[in-house]
Each structure stands twice: as structure tokens, then as C-alpha cells.
Amino acid sequence: MVRPLKDRIRGKYMEYFIQQLINGLTLGSIYGLVAIGYTMVYGIIGMINFAHGDIFMLGGFAALIIFLILTSFFAGIPVALLLLLMLLVGMLMTGLWNWTIERVAYRPLRGSFRLAPLITAIGMSIALSNFIQVTQGPRNKPIPPLVTDTYHFGDITISLKQILIVVITSILLFAFWYIVNKTPLGRAQRATEQDRKMAALLGVDVDKTISITFIMGAALAAVAGAMYLMYYGVASFNDGFIPGVKAFTAAVLGGIGSLPGAVLGGLLIGLIESLWSAYFSIAYKDVATFAILAIVLIFKPTGILGRPEVEKV
Amino acid sequence: MAYTTENNQSGLMAKAIKEGIFAGLIAFGMFLLFVGIETYQDINNQLVWRTRWGLLAVFVAVAAIGRFVTVGFIKPHLDARKLAKAKTGVLEISDKKSFFHRHFLKIALVFLLCYPFLAMLIVGRQGSLKYVDNFGIQILIYVMLAWGLNIVVGLAGLLDLGYVAFYAVGAYSYALLSSYFGFSFWLLLPMAGILAALWGVILGFPVLRLRGDYLAIVTLAFGEIIRLVLINWTDVTRGTFGVSGIAKASFFGIWSFDVGAANNFNKAWGLPSSSVYYKMFLFYIILALCMLTAYVTIRLRRMPIGRAWEALREDEIACRSLGINTVTTKLTAFATGAMFGGFAGSFFAARQGFVSPESFVFLESAVILAIVVLGGMGSLTGIAIAAVVMVGGTELLREMEFLKHIFGPDFTPELYRMLLFGLAMIIVMLFKPRGFVGTREPTAFLKERKAVSGSFTKEGHG
């Protein structure tokens, strides 16, 4: 019989702490992936993409539906292939969605005043979550656990899905870092971010670059959504909001516009959340996250790794 | 010449067909999983799926045909009209206004004053309940909230995404103080306003240094913190169960609207017992509160503090260098806006008789902000119109019973309420990015007052 966690770790403060650290790291990886989408869009067009949390939710739903279809047709499909297909189709799907959303709701307002795209983004967020509620029903959608293996190191338990999440996140982050820093596309993105007009004058296709940025952000959010589904085993139409706000918090905490900052922020938010739940109270874990966001912004508005903003007259 | 137009015409058609097919393909890709496949739980609680190809085909067809018609017919038509207008040189803004236009405010006010009686005359006593309560009071609450937020966002240019927090403070002040201490509505209404204003200062003080989007996010965080505290502080607020059995508002302490009371309003006036009179009374209270908000806003705009708000919105640095104290200016904007939110909140609690954290989610803040922006920030009339269209429109959906005859008995229009609300937000912004009322009346002017385009006012950078 497995004793409850509280009994097993009684008196073993270090093990308990490390266990929470691992949980926080897993959660933080997911937040970090979503945060990248926020930070890139904010960096390139200076807009809070409120619908990004719902793109994350769409990614989770795409993975869920692919999972259902594949398992009903091919009962004995290897888990690795299943996961890979879930991720790939989800990335494709949400990429297409975010491309369309940018094209329809944000691009026509690019030259307009600052609040206009913010309002369409909020509208899009409301519309997306309610679209899923209408088409897929309001109830939670549970799936059977995909990956169940766990490993024990003394009293610390690490599950395979936690390892998978951290490994997939690391691979994607490396790929992303490479794209943004070493390829012509990344150069175009950085140029557009610094000065859109100048980049256009020098032959960068600004519209295309922004579209690709949205697709990339959505692809990462889809991976995060699929892993969120794998980790918790349940998807719901309003899953977008709270993780979305937390990921945005992560992006701001790390310094908005900075890619490493988004990841760092995500990990910190994940750690704060799991440590706060472990040592203080689960009920107030979101309060802790938001309070830390407020405190960081008040004392260091540019975040941890953000560039200081120069006030132009 | 004829040849080239024909060539253009066929080229246009080819382009329209191409774009239509492309849109259809995109729609197919987007909706394949989410519309084409339905997931549901079977009797064993197992998640299973079935296909809905028919519905998917409808979605794809709508996207393809819609795009085809837009590219092929609507856009050329609009372009031609714009070109014709530019050629004649007639400006769209004409000086002559119709009688209705000139006296719009007076007509609207008279209509609002008569509204409950009109509703009663037309649909009878019990039938009017719905129109006075669901439409009248509901819309006016949003008008008041949006006007309150307008002081913060439209006048001072501070983007506040957590306005609902002050609404919650007002509602819970009334709910808790009246159920723990038995204070009356008329005592607690100003107190709720003052408490909300106090919270406005408390929350406003630390965020004074922040600008633009950062301010928006911190206010969102504060709004969520207040909601989470309301959920988790169960000893006082009873958590998610909410506070119920909140006392009704009385007729200034003279008559009560409680059914069993000796000084019951209906009995005193010899009226049949019906809750419609209470609703009518509430309608006039919220109407008076709205008028108060509008009056204060209009007066404040003419006072130094209002001018300072608008100056702050236009250019904070210039404002500071001219010696305006930006700290007090921002704080008063926050406090004034919050105060009206508090009033609306305490009214809400009195009207519902029940408050729970469910009513104060971020979505509410988003809806209020959307009304302010869709109405055209800073324009009171525009905001009121936006509130009527957005809130009234979604309320109207609840009434669309006839849709059941078209789409079958399983069709519940209420489910589509927020979906349509979100889509409406996007569509209005796309076609009217400056809101319903795109002109502003300046308070300071040289020689004559001229309405200026909303594009000349800034939205502020917080």
C-alpha cells in the first residue's frame, strides 16, 4: 500500500522541497511555452494578445480530438507515435487558427489606435472559448492517462510525463532560440521588432513576418496545450483564461519582449505556484502569483531580463 | 475602354473565386476538428466521438461564399461609392442636424422617465417585469459602470482592466454591512461609494508609476486578487456560496417593499401585490444614479481637475512640466471612477438580493471596457448607445424563442450569447475603430465650439 505523500515525507524536508521543485518545473515549462507566444507578439506589434490563452486551449482540444480518433481506429498505437501526432496536428491546427485570427481581427487595425486591437483580442478570447463551449459542450473532457510510468529516487517520485514535458520544452526552446537568432527569418523578426517601418524599407516583408510570428507562437501554445492535457488528463472550454493570465504574468515577470525572459518567468511562476501550495495554502496560490506580478511591475516594470524602456518626448 | 472594364470585371471574378476557394480551404482546416467532430461522454462516462460533416459543410460554405461575395461585389461597390464621394467633394459631416438629432438627449431622457409606465401599459403588469428588470435595469447598470470607467479610461487615459473589483467592493460592502449590522440601503449607498473610492486610492497608489499595458495588467491582477479573496475568505464572505437574503432598498425609509412589513408600499398605496412596483422603483434609482454619474462627469470636465485628466491623457510629460501634480490627478481619476463602480455595486446587491464572486469575473471588466471603447471613449451618448446595443442585444437573445422552431427544440439561444457578444466586439471594432460616436465636443475652445473627430484625441499611455 502506498502511504499518503504527507506521511512518506514527514521529517524529510529536503525531499519534500525537491519534489515540489520538480512539480513546479513541470508546470513552469508549460507556462513558459505559452509565455513565449505572448512575449513575441508583444515584442513585434506591441499588443497584448488576449486570445493567446484560448489558442492554448484550442491546442489542448485539438490534441484531445486527435487522441480520440487515433485510439478508436488503431487500438494498439504506440504511445510515442500517438503523442507525436497529437503535438503535430495540434501545432498545425492552432497555427492555422492564429494565422486567420491575425489576418481577420488584428491586421486591419494595425494602424489604428492602441486600444482597438486590444478590444478585438478580448472579443476573440470570449468568442473562442464560447465557440468551443457551443461546439464541444460545456462539460469537462477527461481522457485516460497516456503515460503512467514513474521512477523513484529514494523518496522522490518523478513521473515519465514530467520528464517528457521538460524534455520537449527544452528541445522546442533550443529550436526556437536557433530560429530567432540564427536564421534569416529570425533576423527579419528582430528587425521588425526594432523598427517596423525601417525594416519594411529595407525589404523585409513585414506582414509575412508578423504572420509567421503568430503561427510560431500558436504552435508553441498548442504543444503546451497538449502537454497540459497529458499532465492533468482533462480539457475544458474555459481552460484558456487562468493559464493564459499566468503565462502572461510569466512573460511580464521575465521582461516582455525577451525570449529567455519568458522561459525564466514561466519557470518562476511554476515554482512560486507549487511552493506556495506546498508550504502555505492551495486556495491562495493564484493570489500569490498575481501579487508577485504586481510587486515586480511596481518595483521593476521592465521585468527581470527586459530592456529598460526609453521615454520619448 | 469597354474592353478594359470587361477585362477588369472578369479578372475581378476570377480573383473572387480564387479567394473564395482559399477561404473555404482555410475554414475547412480550422473547423475540421472542432466542428466536424463532436466529442461527448457515452453512458459509461467514456469520452467518444462522432462526425458532423453537414455542419462542417455549412461552415465551409459560409466562409467561401462570404469571401467570394465580399471580394467580388461588396468591396468594389464600396470603393466605387468612396470614389464618387471624393469626386463630388461633399463632406460627410453636414452642419444641419435633424430635429431628432438636436434634441436627442431630451427625447431620450423623457423616454427613460416614461419607460416603466409604457412597458406596463403595453404588456400588462406581470409582462412588464421582464422589460423593466432584464432590459431597463440591466442596461442602466452597465451604462453606469461604463460611464464610471469612462472617467478612468476615456478622460484620464488610464487603461483599467480590473474595474469590476470596485463593483465587487460596492456590492459586498452593501451585502455584508446590511446583513451583519442591518444598515439601510440609503446609508450604505454612499458608504459603498466611499469604500470603493478608498480601494481605488489603495490600488491606484502603487501603480502610479506604470504606463499603458503594464497598468492594464496590474489592474487585471488586482481585480483577480479581490475576486480570489472573496472566494477564499469564507468566514466573512461565505465563499462561492455568496451572501444571500440581502435587504431590499426601502422608499427612503417611509415605505418598505418587504411583503410582510406593516408599511408595505403596495398596501399603503392600495396597489395589488406585485414585485413590479419594486422593480420600477429600482429602475428610477438606477436612472437617477446614472444621471448623477453623467452630471458629475460633465461638470468635472469643465473643472480644473477634469482638464488635468484630459491633459494627462494627451501628454503626460507636457502635463508634468506644466506643474500639474500627476499623482493626485491620477488618484482622483481612479477614486472617482471607483466610487461610481461602488454605487453601481451596492445597487446591484440590493437588486439581486444575492451576491457571489461569480458576478465579478474578469469577463465583466472586459464587457464594461468593451462598452466604453465601442461607444467611443469619452462620449457619454456613444457609451450609452453601446450599452444598449451590446447588453440589450445579448438579453434579447434570451427572448428568441422562435429560433427553436427553426433550429429544433434542442436549440438554446442563450448558449450563443457570449459567442455573439465576442464576435460583435470584433466586428464593431473592425468597422468603427473609433466607436459608435466618432466625434468629440471639446470643453476648451477658441471662439466657437466645433466637434472634432475622435482621431484627434489620444487614448493615453497611462
Model ipTM?
Answer: 0.83
Interchain contact, A130 vs B425, CB within 8 Å:
no
How far is CA B385 from each of CA A254, B147, B176, B351, rounded to the nearest angstrom?
A: 41, 12, 34, 23
Structural domains in chain A (count): 1
For an interface test with A, give the residue of B226, B407, B419, B459 to mutate (most A CBs within 10 A).
B419
Which CATH number covers residue A132?
1.10.3470
Searching chain B, which residue's CA lies closest to the CA of residue A106?
A: B430
Q: Kindly report the backbone phi and psi dihedral angles of residue B44, in degrees, each rounded to the nearest multiple of 5, phi listed first.
A: -85, 15
Q: Over the stretch A281-301, which tens digit does the pLDDT of each residue have?
A: 777 888 888 888 888 877 877
**CB nearest to B433's CB, from A65, A113, A290:** A113
Q: Over the stretch A62-115, which tens digit does the pLDDT of each residue have?
A: 988 888 888 888 877 788 888 888 889 889 989 999 999 998 888 888 877 777
Tell me the residue ranges of DSSP E strands in chain A: 141-142, 150-153, 156-159, 234-235
CA–CA dist A248, A39 (Å, integer)? 8
- Residue A31 pLDDT exceeds 50: yes
Q: Does residue A9 lie in a domain region? A: no
Q: Does residue A3 lie in a domain region? A: no
The parent domain of residue A50 ranges over 17-298
Picking from A133-147, A232-246, B108-122, which range would have the lowest pLDDT averaged per residue? B108-122
CB atoms within 10 A of CB A278: 17
CB A20 within 8 A of CB A274: yes
- Indicate the SS3 state at residue B177: helix
Set of chain B residues whose Cβ sits within 8 Å of the Cβ of A104? 426
pLDDT of residue A96: 92
B243-244/A156-159 β-pairing = unpaired
Give the cell for residue A49: 494578445
Interchain contact, B422 vs A126, CB within 8 Å:
yes
Searching chain B, which residue's CA lies closest to the CA of residue A296?
A: B218
Interchain contact, A115 vs B159, CB within 8 Å:
yes
Q: Does residue A154 lie in a domain region? A: yes
Global confidence as pTM: 0.84
CB atoms within 10 A of CB B460: 26
Torsion sign (Cα): A51, A56, A59, A63: negative
CA–CA dist B366, B362 (Å, integer)? 6
Torsion sign (Cα): B415, B418, B424, B426: negative
For an interface test with A, give the residue of B44, B202, B217 to mutate (most A CBs within 10 A).
B217
Q: Does residue A244 lie in a domain region? A: yes
Q: Does residue A66 lie in a domain region? A: yes
Set of chain A residues whose Cβ sits within 8 Å of the Cβ of B411? none
Set of chain B residues whose Cβ sits within 8 Å of the Cβ of A96? 26, 29-30
In DSSP terms, which residues pair with B244 in a beta bridge? Answer: B354
Helix axes B362-375, B138-150, angle to 10 degrees: 70
Searching chain B, which residue's CA lies closest to the CA of residue A312?
A: B317
CB atoms within 10 A of CB B303: 11
Searching chain A, which residue's CA lies closest to the CA of residue B321?
A: A313
Domain boundaries, chain B: 2-87, 136-456
Q: Does residue A8 lie in a domain region? A: no
Q: Which are the contacts of B437, defined by CB distance < 8 A and separation ≥ 6?
A: B375, B376, B379, B381, B382, B385, B454
Phi-psi region of B50 (alpha: psi -120 to 50; beta: other; left: phi over 0): beta
How buried is residue A188: exposed, middle or buried, by Cβ count under 10 Å (0-12/13-18/19+)? buried
pLDDT of residue A2: 46
CB A297 within 8 A of CB B214: yes
**CB nearest to B419's CB, from A105, A122, A127:** A127
- Indicate the SS3 state at residue B308: helix
CA–CA dist A245, A243 (Å, integer)? 6
Amino acid identity of B139?
A: I
| Mean pLDDT, contiguous 10-residue spans, chain B (462 residues) | 57 84 86 82 76 83 86 83 74 58 76 75 71 81 90 84 89 85 81 89 80 78 86 78 74 68 67 73 86 88 86 82 86 90 90 84 87 81 85 77 65 76 86 71 64 58 43
Q: Does residue A308 lie in a domain region? A: no
CA–CA dist A117, A137 (Å, integer)? 29
Q: Where are the alpha helices (DSSP H) in B182-242?
A: 185-204, 212-232, 234-237
